[in-house]
């Protein structure tokens, strides 16, 4: 998967490629879909949610230029696959998931794989994780209509956030905050993500 779907596109660092080699995607997909675990496509993981296409996971990860000392906030734990990739690059990962079942499953997989250094929270991702802010990097894996104010507030000066925005038609944006706190955004490419769920925590 790494060679065919990531390296041949020629836009990813060796650090990101190594992260993909170290994380087995089949551990994060339903057992009946294991044969498709390394296809370059999103796959259903239940409750109308998906595990993202590997190329998009790699692209979003690469754009953020994550360093080991960066505090990284992930909005949408989902299957936990993107979380595990981030964990290869930073020692400080904070992941928020509104569906309790997904957070619980991801934590169980991490325990089985002896993955450490990730902090999980069940909650509305549009509010971020104020108690642990600010964050050097923020990655959002579900699409709101607009950038949540809380996420902008929790992005540190000189920080970067990557986020899909829109309804039926979505675009991926890179949001950057300079040292003075001024924010700019850059359109990267059209994407399709599940909508961001907001409001009450989903207990199953």
pLDDT digits (tens, 9 = 90+) for 121-156: 999 999 999 999 999 999 999 999 999 999 999 999
Confirm whether 24 is domain-assigned.
yes
Q: Tell which wins on pLDDT, 59 or 36.
A: 59
Confirm whether 204 is domain-assigned.
no
Confirm whether 96 is domain-assigned.
yes
Structural domain that includes position 25: 2-191
- What does the DSSP assignment read for 67-107? -TT-EEEEE--TTSHHHHHHHHH-SEEEEEESBHHHHHHHH
Residue-wise pLDDT tens digits, 166-198: 998 999 999 999 999 999 999 999 999 989 988
> Span 69-94, mean pLDDT?
97
Kindly tell me if the per-residue pLDDT of 201 is higher than 90: no
* CATH code, domain with 153: 3.40.50.150
d(CA 165, CA 143): 5
Kindly tell me if the per-residue pLDDT of 94 is higher than 80: yes
14 flagged as catalytic: no
Q: How many domains does the chain have?
A: 1
Kindly tell me if the per-residue pLDDT of 89 is higher than 80: yes
**Spatial CA neighbour of 53 closest among 187, 192, 171, 147:** 192
> Span 41-59, mean pLDDT?
81
Kindly tell me if the per-residue pLDDT of 10 is higher than 70: no
Confirm whether 200 is domain-assigned.
no
Of the residues 13, 14, 41, 52, only one is catalytic, namely: 52
According to DSSP, the residues that pair with 128 across neighbouring strands are: none
pLDDT of 41 reads: 73
Confirm whether 34 is domain-assigned.
yes
pLDDT band at 158 (very low <50, low <70, confident <90, very high): very high
C-beta of residue 35 within 8 angstroms of C-beta of residue 1? no
* Cβ atoms < 10 Å from Cβ of 48: 9
């Amino acid at each position: 998967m790494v060679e065919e779907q990531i390296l041949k596109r020629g836009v990813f660092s060796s650090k990101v490629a190594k992260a993909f080699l170290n994380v087995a995607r089949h551990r994060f997909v339903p057992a009946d879909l294991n044969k498709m675990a390394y296809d370059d496509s999103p796959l259903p993981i239940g409750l109308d949610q998906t595990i993202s296409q590997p190329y998009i996971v790699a692209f979003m990860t690469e754009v953020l230029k994550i360093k080991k000392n960066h505090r990284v906030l992930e909005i949408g734990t989902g299957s936990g696959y993107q979380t595990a990739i981030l964990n290869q690059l930073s020692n400080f990962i904070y992941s928020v998931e509104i569906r309790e079942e997904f957070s619980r499953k991801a934590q169980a997989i991490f325990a089985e794989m002896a993955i450490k250094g990730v902090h999980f929270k069940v909650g509305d991702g549009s509010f971020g994780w104020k108690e642990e802010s600010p964050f050097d990097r923020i990655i959002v894996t579900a699409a709101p209509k607009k950038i949540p104010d809380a996420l902008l507030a929790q992005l540190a000066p000189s920080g970067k956030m990557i986020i899909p925005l829109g309804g039926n038609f979505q675009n991926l944006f890179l949001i950057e905050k300079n040292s003075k706190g001024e924010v700019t955004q850059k359109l990267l490419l059209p994407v399709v993500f599940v909508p961001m769920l907001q409001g009450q925590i989903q207990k199953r």
